[in-house]
Structure 1
């Protein structure tokens, strides 16, 4: 993926481009991600903050996540689509929503986190490593 990738919200008012590849990609089953996604989990790609160029204003909502860290979720104020989140405990990274990608094949999941909180109808699978909470060194 030498040319990077791009994405944005449902209505197109918020767009981003990223130079380079994601450094991590996974599915999170914590309560915060479940509730904010409207499904059993949320899928994210972690990229260095300096590699992402954003266009368009977002609205942020901050809350302490299951990890205890304050997570700010950024979404489009027009269509409400979630685009990315930030977490001061993982400063320097932006967590892009996989659902916001223009090319969904960019997302190559590597793990499930907070698998211990997964809903009975959305259990981790796909042969990916599953972590009860966050993997060591990631919180």
Structure 2
């Protein structure tokens, strides 16, 4: 089982994971676009017990389009989000795939909020597509 380390830009906040993610997805919602500064967010979900956290984090709680809350943990020094917790899925932690800085990371198998997807974005054809 692979070990991977996700990190903020300055390296102070880290998440070490063991094993494969239970889900890798991309989200095209406007909140993820604003949070990432990109045209979508990509995250990997891991079982909480497979993640070891180190470093200090600040939190930001966001209410999603459907009313659920997500608590984003970011580095207080450089501002990079390293992991987040979603209401109703307490047994998991989600980690932005970019925090791993690993081009060999598995491709997303789910693409959500495609109604808000930029017209030039092409998700993997074998992914589950959710409008």
Normalised by the length of structure 2, the TM-score is 0.91
> 1:97 matched to which residue of 2?
96
Unaligned 5+ runs, structure 2: none
Equivalents in 2 of 1:97, 1:107: separation in Å?
Answer: 13
Check conservation: 2:28, 2:114, Cα contact below 8 A.
yes
Check conservation: 1:34, 1:41, Cα contact below 8 A.
yes
Normalised by the length of structure 1, the TM-score is 0.86
Equivalents in 1 of 2:106, 2:97: separation in Å?
Answer: 6
Check conservation: 2:84, 2:94, Cα contact below 8 A.
yes
Residue 123 of structure 2 corresponds to residue 125 of structure 1? yes
Equivalents in 1 of 2:64, 2:20: separation in Å?
Answer: 26
> 1:73 matched to which residue of 2?
72
Aligned length: 130
> 1:41 matched to which residue of 2?
40
Equivalents in 2 of 1:116, 1:102: separation in Å?
Answer: 28
Unaligned 5+ runs, structure 1: 133-139
2:34 partner SS: helix
> 2:53 matched to which residue of 1?
54
> 1:20 matched to which residue of 2?
19
Aligned residues: CA RMSD: 1.4
Check conservation: 1:98, 1:107, Cα contact below 8 A.
no
Task: Give how far 1:120 is off.
Answer: 3.2
